[in-house]
Amino acid sequence: MNADFRSDTLTVAAPAMREAMATAEVGDDVYGEDPTVNRLQDRIAELAGKEAALFLTSGTQSNLAAVLAHCRRGDEFIIGSNYHVYLNEASGAAAFAGASPWPIEVDANGSLTPDAVRAAVREPDQHHPESRLLCLENTVNGNVQPVDLISKLAATGHDCGLAVHLDGARLFNAAAACDVGIDAFLDDVDTVSLCLSKGLGAPAGTVLAGDRATIDRAFRARKMLGGGMRQVGHLAAAGLHALDHNVDRLAEDHARAEQIAEALRAIGGLGVTQGTNMLWVTPPPEHHDDLVAHLESEGLLGIFWKPTMRFVTHLGIDDEQADALVESFTRFFAGR
């Protein structure tokens, strides 16, 4: 049985989503005249409890537009040392916004501490960069950053004169895990980036939400980045469909990941951690390569980093595929 656990970005639009896209009412979004984009932006602003929102091509573009909206060239932003904006966005913040990251250590859950944030803020001095922005993330590699932690970190950031941006590529997963709305995390956050093309299953698109003045600056940044699209309501319609149909079901992905994790732990000898829809497995090093070959030969894909491999549950993974993964691991380790 084939099952692709590499990422929740791999989902393809279901027939009902394609129908919503095909029949969307559209206009020129650069003129602000695409009614479906406008509906999506209004809907996200409301869910996030923010004044305004902006539809962008991707999470990377949305985070970069946020950095451009918050920072001036030469400013510094404080960020977790394994967060996506720092590690996985091709240094766009440095290259295009001229803002340099100040990465600080995170714990095993991907969490920063308020004290570490406070300590990372520069003293005012002509020699130093100016600390301008605190960049948070939720989830971090599947790990939920609790509501009260995000609030404390954001309050610390504000207290130190920083703006606060949250990369919420998977904030809907965190909200589902905590059984709260996404707005619960956002009272003290200035801007949030929310991806539609991950657990929510849309083919593309991310929405940045925040106060009107910051979103106006991000709107200009989006143009600068080449992200002003025209009749893009066809994509926004996929996002609206995802909000209607694919938010409540995220808990299913989490339950499947948890079941797989429990079953793999029962095999013994494997390091297994799991948070929301992500599962991290560290096999004994001597078995790593053979295990990868075995899984691949059975049509089962993860991201086979060494020493720890990643499996992600999503819309395209059902119970049978989850069972197939567990059975394949079990067969491999039987007798070893």
Q: Find the shortest distance in angstroms from Cβ 331 to ligand PLP.
A: 31
What is the nearest approach in angstroms of ligand PLP to the Cβ of residue 89? 7
Rounded to 5 degrees, φ, ψ at 136 are -100, 170
d(CA 141, CA 131): 26
Q: Which residues bind ligand PLP (CB under 6 A)?
A: 58-60, 84, 137, 167, 169, 195, 197, 206
Of 121 and 225, CB closest to ligand PLP: 225
Q: How many Å apart are CA 187 and CA 39, to the nearest integer?
A: 22
Shortest separation between residue 58's beta carbon and ligand PLP, angstroms: 3
Q: For residues 121 and 250, which CB has a smaller minimum distance to ligand PLP in the complex?
A: 250
Query: Which of residues 34 and 137 has its CB atom nearest to ligand PLP in the complex?
Result: 137
Which of 121, 232 has the CB closer to ligand PLP?
A: 232
Q: Least separation, in Å, of the C-beta of 319 and ligand PLP? A: 25
Identify which of residues 195 and 257 has a Cβ nearer to ligand PLP in the complex. 195
**Listed residue (281, 275, 305) closest to 108, CA to CA:** 275
State in angstroms the smallest separation of the CB of 88 from ligand PLP: 7
Nearest distance in Å: CB 80, ligand PLP: 11
Residue 167 Cβ, how far from ligand PLP at the closest point, in Å? Answer: 5
Choose between 92 and 228: whose C-beta lies nearer to ligand PLP.
92
Of 58 and 308, nearer to ligand PLP (C-beta) is: 58
